[in-house]
Structure 1
Amino acid sequence: MEVALETMSMDAIMRRWPKTIRVVLRHHMLCVGCPMAPFQTVAEACRDNGVDRAVFLEDVRRVIEDGPG
């Protein structure tokens, strides 16, 4: 079953898959440590940070699929 990343909060994504923090930082997003991260979806965070959502999600999925490490 594929996880619907688009509906998860940025905080939930970073907590479930800590390696995604690197992706967030690489896209110059301010979500790490942000008090809004538990409430912001991927779409909202990308919009607020001026990041292409499709590219961001592709990068996040790639990191998740690579597994732990």
Structure 2
Amino acid sequence: MKRKLDDDATMDGIMRETPAAIRVVLQHGMLCVGCPIAPFHTVSDAAREHELDEDQLRRDLEVAIDARRVD
């Protein structure tokens, strides 16, 4: 299955491009919004740092991205 999120996409970039992703980040208990590391952390990095299931985080972010595309 092809990933919709580029492996090099940063958390900051994802949240800037898709503001609905901010809600996903917060729901996962992450404090990436405004974090000085967010411009450097990929989804993989953030999931690892926060001890989250990366696949679930990616799925949830992709739902937010897809919802934006429909609007």
TM-score range, shorter chain: 0.7 to 0.9
Q: Tell me the TM-score normalized by structure 2.
A: 0.85
AA of the residue aligned to 1:62: V
- Residues matched between the structures, number: 68
Match of 2:49 in 1: 48
* 8 Å contact kept, 2:11–2:42: yes
Percent same amino acid among aligned pairs?
43
The answer to whether the aligner puts 1:62 opposite 2:63 as a matched pair is yes
Match of 2:13 in 1: 12
* 8 Å contact kept, 1:30–1:49: no
Structure 1: 4+ residue segments shifted above 6 A: none
Gaps of 5+ in 1: none
Gaps of 5+ in 2: none
